[in-house]
Structure 1
């Protein structure tokens, strides 16, 4: 058992002594799942804008700075080489080579060149290298060199293997398989002087540098070829290059050369400083096998056996990254006696002689490092320790040591916040630290800040804010004010600072300050621009904030004119969560605590770098409206209204890393916004003409030159020009029809009025006629009645006279004369002239009465007709009797007979029947 513990202790001690790495620039990994192609990337090339093209097993990979796209060859073969030359992207594959160009939609299209080869048969060749040669283009396979010139391809096929070709002083140097170098002269390979140094060596790469042509071999180091001959190119990394098999050479500056290896990543060698940096999987590369490299400005692109990486060269921000996970999350840093110390959640570490050491006994969570009165204090989960290189001496058993602050106007007194309250630190006469708990407060105290010599502000890690007054010996709280929701907006997540002799408070992201005169907390007006930004470091002239909303951008300000935004995506992702901290190492150097190491920034280099950095104008990648893609060569994009509900504009600044954009849309409606990616989307824009200005955004919100796009959304069909023409035609037709309708209406009205007038006239005339007729009828009725009455009276008188005569007949002597007289009387009664006169007047009133009556009742006699006429006049039997010269009884009998002839029963009035009969 004892042996087991000894072995375990040995393993732990060994694992905590980590080999150091140099501070390295940011390394950005592009993994297979991001670019969605095969793992192997045989060749890389960039164009003038910084777009990347990769020769991948699956095809040609294109990265525009925002999105990846894979283009496959017609036969889906592996692409082994790629080169951007004169706006073309040339690629080489198995028995195939050609070029790609962008069409008007921004999509790459392929054109094969192998049909230009005459009288030649491929022999299982793959093209591994492409390079320009004047106006020509060279394609290299192991079997030969194919020269593209004036739209023809000439084949240079020696009887030996060709390993590599390189430009050197306007010449083409060829490395052959049997350890010789050749020069391409007049389309032929002419051997250079045979150099014994290359015997039994495999040449894997060549590149022109200041000293001459740098020739690299797989296991035997590098050589320089120049006018003086061939000589070894000695470096400090010769053994590493031989051991790990050199595979790629790329000069990246006048002094810096990148060497890519098969087994151990990249060596960045500075031939002037005779120094190197190793960039391999241990420090951030995805893979140690480097298949290809290319450079664009300060970016080194690396094609790996498993992925693509981009290294930011000459970047003012560098990183130490613990890829083993042993260090853990870093919470604080301090430079003490020229040694860098790190506090992490696993313990405490320090660098010495480029080796990272673990401070023995410091296992556990370390919160703070404080240099106090010439000593380095470590605030640990288990207490507070004094650190001296590899010694870890506990000076306080109070757990959870947080911040230590100096008491104003005192050279030897300090106060520390802990898990359970406050502690006082002082040195005794022997120079030893004496720690005394401060009574009167027993709550965790993370943030401390003195207002004056005895007034101390304390903020709880989560909830609580206090203003304490300490006694003269600083070991007791004599007065305590606890701020609650009655005094401040909230007592959660409060941080307290002394900023230029003012007590400043970050309360849930909003800045406040304490007014000592009013004795109240109010808004800090001068700091409102920094709301929702955590203050992580400050002194009299430097203020560092971290945005706590969304992306954690780092802001540097002097509160006057200088403002820098450190918009580094890797830094933002790696900042220590909820415990971001920036430490000033010297006048211009700052460090950032990270969740897997730390970052280092030289603010002077940062200013110089970005003051001389020109932001790239964003490029238009695609313009789409509801899925329809538009050609990019348009001055104005014309969009039908039905497609305008969803417009997508894709832009990119490939020269920038993790670019930020800003757009400003003006037109029928205005919009503006910042973008973290290159996609702008507009929904349901109204029709009209728009101008879209797109910018790349740098530090201090600096903007690039605008890329200006114009587009026009056509009005809906019912508001189009054709529709307006139709509307005008329809309006004219409507006016015509309306006029015609109105005219018709007027004419109709006129006709109606005319008809009404005529009708009224006719009615008036008819009325007059009727009135006249009625008068005439009344007159005739009166006349008829008069005639009838006259006849009746006459007959009555005659009948009375006759009766008187008949009574006195005996008195007449002359009976004959008497009889003649009686006869005359009878003739007077039955005078036809009277009847005719009556009949004429009757017919004028009752036209066709007799004719119609006879038609229906042909058996009627003239006497019956007379009775009918008298009854129609509504005469009574008494009135009829004289007219017919019969008695009343005779009239009744006649009426009875007439009723029978007419077929009228006794229930029906005979006079009414005849009155109604027409």
Structure 2
């Protein structure tokens, strides 16, 4: 509570201050960081090339609206004065004067005084003023004057200390410091009669206006000579000027008087209304000391400051209200009232009447919108809705947040979008008669109506709603149309009424509602003409404003064609309040809110057609002429110079090599990189809002890359020829080497052939011997097999006889005989040893592999393995190893265990794999 009271006290304190705040012409400030020069601007003028020239201490500055240039005198002295005559820019300095001319995109200096040797060694002259009078150029110092007729210089010394000379019509006045004002006639000086009161005054300007002569003194204000009678200027401003120290004064177009002071900025006095505006550091200027004044061809004002330059559009249809105090805050809506303006800001509701700026009591806080209904003003506020009627304020409603108000297209009612839904005002004479739409308790930002009992409402966050209600204002249906139309990105929906049709801007696309399909459908007309629009504001039936890609356009709807006028970005750059752009129409002007005030523009202001646009192209700061050739892979900078600095600056676009797209010329500069070699053309067009008119073009050629130049191509031929020659020599050398190598190779081949034949014979012999061995091995194998079968049969016979004998006990004699026979037929020891030796030779590799794989096998096991590999049965094997059949079976069983064989595996097949 205490904090709120403190805020109120502060706001009341500010409200009672006499700010003298008012709408001012638009001002552009240029500091040293812009032109990279010195502080003081002693003199300025516009050249015939439309560029502005400035005497800036050690520099001559040139500004063509696109770029700044600076130049110094050969002797590096301070430039005090400049004057334009034809294509020459005359300048004056310490013991030096001459002229500048422009060639190939640069300024060059020619000294006049140095050639004629007009200054003596003892002279201490500094040229403070240059002017043209009766066909001659005058260079004036405080001690003398130099007349130049284009060939010779005539020097005149003053007998008194002079402030300045002033050509007025056919008269040349010389203002002295102590003795008053004289007229100069050839080389003689005659004191002006009746002006004795001006003695001991420093005169800084003498101007003639409407048959009256105005004399501007430094400290004693302004005097007026009316039909030979000199008297102080009878205007309240004169007393202010006496305290401000006049530095310069000038009458300009539209009956305006410009007075630059040393301490209080510049005064723009309107003789039509007998009123003035003071532009100073408290509002827009960088400092209050005005050293020089000049006009451009648009009759706009240029000021040379003690530190910087100011461009003031005094004849522009655009005015700005600034508030540098911070009391106002960001303006969300503005409207005109009888004696001034009403503003809704984030700090409250403010009035600007008779140049006095005050806050409306009890309206502190966020104010959103001001809508004029008949002679009343409906003001949406965070705390509710206020009404301003005939100078009185009162609170109408406590419903928080009145964002926007829209007039119904079916009757005289008004709809208000608030934090908690929609309010309808049916009786504009009695605003207390209002209805709230039930069932929709949402923060509604935009609202519209073009059918009975139907309201469209856009949520502040997301969603578009169609509200249906009966005659008793009972809600019958609330439909989320974007959700039903399956539009997923429905954040920040905007509603725009155009010729009784309601359009919806959703995610930068335009939609209308189809009542038959109950769906949103894209609007072809607006989607074709207004792509990438982020905001739109209606002005009246045929006019509206759009914000597209950061630029504001004033649109005039002529049938189904739209005439565009771009509002130059400099008037609002960085000051637009996103999603809260509002326009208030006042006769032929409209007001646009900004984050530190508002701007006033003429409604029907359009771009003027200009045909004198010229183009200057530079590569590495060197001028490139039309149809010239530039190096490959170089940056081309093209300055598109219109000669207009103010509101009349044309809306320019360009094309490169006839492409379809029109590209805006931003700040008069076109920069091109990575250009293809060959012919190129830049064409500049003036856009009048409907058509693009060709006004200038520039042709140039991009050279081939250095590696495709004639000399490089010749070098390529030389290099390729050298490579081919070396390749030929190398091939020839290789051919000779190949011949030598072939001879050597034939000799070696002959030797190799002999060796191969010898080796082949030896191999054949070895093969023969091997074959013999194989035959012997086969023979032994057959012998072993036969022996094996024989031994097996003998063993079987012996076993049978032995069994008979063992069973027949009675025939002892026969038994004895049979035993003898058996012994006779038994295999002798030598024959058995031979059998075993052949067996081992035949299966030697098998025995080696088996022994490596299973080193724990005994010789008996190995012998059994050999017999099994020979596919002999247990019955056949028994006599070979001299054991019984069951013994062989038992031996086989033990062998399987040693070989780790499972029951399903066949022992003979397993041995065949080894």
TM-score norm. by structure 2 comes to: 0.72
Matches of 1:233 and 1:32, distance apart in 2: 37
Aligned to 2:771: none
1:396 corresponds to 2:390: no
Q: Classify 1:587/1:635 alpha carbon distance in 2 versus 1 (closer, same or farther; 3 Å).
A: closer
Kindly state the Cα deviation for residue 119 of structure 1 after the two structures are TM-superposed. 6.5
> Does the 8 Å CA contact 1:544/1:582 hold for their aligned counterparts?
no
1:525 aligns with 2:524: yes
Deviations 1:822-873 (A, max 9, x none): xxxxxxxxxxxxxxxxxxxxxxxxxxxxxxxxxxxxxxxxxxxxxxxxxxxx
C-alpha contact (below 8 Å) 2:79/2:91 kept by paired residues: yes
**2:653 paired with 1:662:** yes
**Offset of residue 359 of structure 1:** 0.9
Farther-moved stretch of structure 1 (298-307 vs 720-729): 720-729
State the Cα RMSD in Å. Answer: 3.8
Secondary structure at 1:614 match in 2: coil
Instruction: Indicate the larger mover: 332-341 or 126-135.
Output: 332-341
Q: Secondary structure at the match of 1:259?
A: strand
Residue equivalent to 1:680: 670
Q: Which moved more, 1:349-358 or 1:47-56?
A: 349-358
For residue 614 of structure 2, the aligned residue among 610, 614, 618 is 618
Deviations 1:240-286 (A, max 9, x none): 22221211111212622211111222222233443333222233222
Q: Does residue 481 of the first structure (1) align with residue 480 of the second (2)? A: yes
Report the counterpart of residue 690 of structure 1 in structure 2: 680
Partner residue, 2:262:
262
Tell me what 2:81 maps to: 81
* Residue 318 (structure 2) pairs with residue 328 (structure 1): no
Specify whether residues 301 and 399 from structure 1 end up closer, same or farther in structure 2 by C-alpha distance, changes over 3 A only.
same
The offset of 1:82, in angstroms, is 1.5
For 2:504, the equivalent position in structure 1 comes to 505
Residue by residue, what CA displacement relative to the aligned partner does 1:681-720 show, whole Å, maximum 9, x if unpaired? 33333332333333565655655731x3332233456766
**What do residues 23-81 of structure 1 show as CA deviations (whole Å, max 9, x unaligned)?**
22211111221112222211111102321111113422211211112222334333221
Aligned twin of 1:493:
492
SS of the aligned residue for 2:242 comes to helix
1:347: how far off? 0.6
| SS of the residue 2:667 aligns to | coil
The separation in 1 between residues aligned to 2:75 and 2:169, in whole angstroms, is 38
C-alpha contact (below 8 Å) 1:265/1:288 kept by paired residues = yes
**SS at structure 2 position matched to 1:241:** helix
How far is 1:656 from its partner? 3.3
Deviation at 1:452, TM superposition (A): 1.3
Partner of 1:468: 467
Are 1:347 and 2:348 counterparts? Answer: yes
1:865-888 CA-partner distances (Å, limit 9, x unpaired): xxxxxxxxxxxxxxxxxxxxxxxx
Q: More deviation in 693-702 or 37-46?
A: 693-702
Matched, 1:638 2:635: no
1-structure distance, mates of 2:407, 2:158: 80
CA shift in 2, pair 1:5/1:501, >3 Å:
closer
- Answer yes or no: is the 8 Å Cα contact 2:215–2:223 preserved in 1: yes
Partner of residue 821, structure 1: none
SS in 1 for 2:65: coil
* Closer, same or farther: CA 247–559 of 1 in aligned 2, 3 Å: farther
Matches of 2:461 and 2:144, distance apart in 1: 72
Q: Does 1:203 align with 2:177?
A: no
Q: Cα offset for 1:522?
A: 0.9
Select between 689-698 and 197-206 the one with higher mean Cα deviation.
689-698
Asked whether the equivalents of residues 371 and 378 of structure 2 are also in contact (C-alpha less than 8 Å), the reply is yes
2:101 corresponds in structure 1 to 101
Partners of 2:699 and 2:479 lie apart in 1 by 65
Tell whether the 8 Å contact from 1:360 to 1:390 is kept in structure 2 after alignment.
Answer: no
Residues 187-198 of structure 1 mapped to structure 2, 5 A cutoff = 187-193=187-193, 195-198=195-198
656-665 or 10-19, which moves further after superposition?
A: 656-665
CA distance in 2: counterparts of 1:540 and 1:631, whole angstroms? 49
Question: 1:176, CA displacement in angstroms?
Answer: 1.4
Which residue in 1 is equivalent to 2:596?
Answer: 596
Q: Partner residue of 2:92?
A: 92
Secondary structure in 2 aligned to 1:237? helix
Whether the 8 Å CA contact 2:539–2:545 is kept in 1: the answer is: no
Pick the aligned partner of 1:712 from 685, 701, 704. Answer: 701
Contact (CA 8 Å) 2:639, 2:668: kept in 1 or not? yes
Counterpart of 1:15 in structure 2 is 14
Q: Is the Cα–Cα contact under 8 Å of residues 385 and 400 in structure 2 kept in the other structure?
A: yes
The offset of 1:475, in angstroms, is 4.9
C-alpha separation between the residues in 2 aligned to 1:137 and 1:485? 80
Query: SS where residue 247 of structure 1 aligns?
Result: strand
Q: Residue 647 of structure 1 is aligned with which of 636, 641, 647?
A: 636
Unaligned runs of 5+ in 1: 738-918
Measured in 2, the distance between the counterparts of 1:362 and 1:603 equals 31
Q: How many residues align?
A: 726
CA distance 1:294–1:419, change in 2 (3 Å): same
Partner of 2:763: none
Q: Unaligned stretches of 5+ in structure 2?
A: 726-914
Q: Tell which structure's C-alpha radius of gyration is larger.
A: 1
- The answer as to 2:45 corresponding to 1:45 is yes
Q: What corresponds to 2:822 in structure 1?
A: none
Q: Which position in structure 1 is the counterpart of 2:565? A: 565
Q: Distance in 2 between matches of 1:470 and 1:670?
A: 50
Aligned to 1:308: 309
Does the 8 Å CA contact 2:498/2:541 hold for their aligned counterparts? no
Q: Contact conserved, 2:410 with 2:449, CA < 8 A, in 1? A: no
Aligned to 2:181: 181
Contact 2:544/2:555 (8 A) holds in 1 = yes
Q: Identify which range, 106-115 or 584-593, moves more after superposition.
A: 106-115
C-alpha distance in 1 between matches for 2:661 and 2:719: 38
3-state SS, counterpart of residue 403 of structure 1? strand
What is the CA-CA distance between 1:100 and the residue it aligns to?
Answer: 2.0
Contact 1:537 1:543 in 2 (8 A): no
